[in-house]
Amino acid sequence: MRGKKRATDERLGSQPMLRPATASLRPSPDQRRPSLAGYSLADVALDIPDASTAVFRATLNGPTGAKVWARAWLSNEIDGTLAETVSPCLVAGDAVSLTVKLRDGDERIPEIACIRIESAPMATEQVVIIQLPR
């Protein structure tokens, strides 16, 4: 990490990793375009019940009967992905809830929360990003 500034800052002291929110966070409206193959995420919401937990919710849209997967993660610019989780195989039209937990003792601060829909494992169709409050 020589020459790079870490996403934590000693001047901040013991700032929480995630800032718990009293209301669900939502993405900006400009992220609602489906992929060319017709896959998209709808009703995306993020709940942050405590300083180490993010709960993503979304509806997974795609061609009728298509198998879909969802993947959610927390990230920052310096460190990249801090924690992530993936759903089992689902069917287009299903709702998904994914819980991402930061590790105890990890003081890196997430800046964004991301969820994506996949048409096959690791085959990204659409990514939705939610900017986290500071």
For the chain, which residues make up each domain, given as ranges?
14-131
Angstrom distance (rounded) from CA 27 to CA 130 = 5
Q: What is the DSSP letter of 33?
A: P
Q: Quick check: pTM over 0.95?
A: no
Tokens (6 digits) for 89: 């195989």
* 1 has pLDDT over 50: no
DSSP symbols for 73-130: EEEETTTEEEEEEE---EETT-EEEEEEEPPTT------EEEEEEEEETTEEEEEEEE
Give domain 14-131's CATH number out of 2.60.40, 1.10.150, 3.30.1300, 1.20.1440: 2.60.40
* 13 has pLDDT over 90: no
* 58 has pLDDT over 90: yes
What percent of the chain shows pLDDT beyond 90? 75
What pLDDT, on the 0 to 100 scale, is given for residue 7?
45
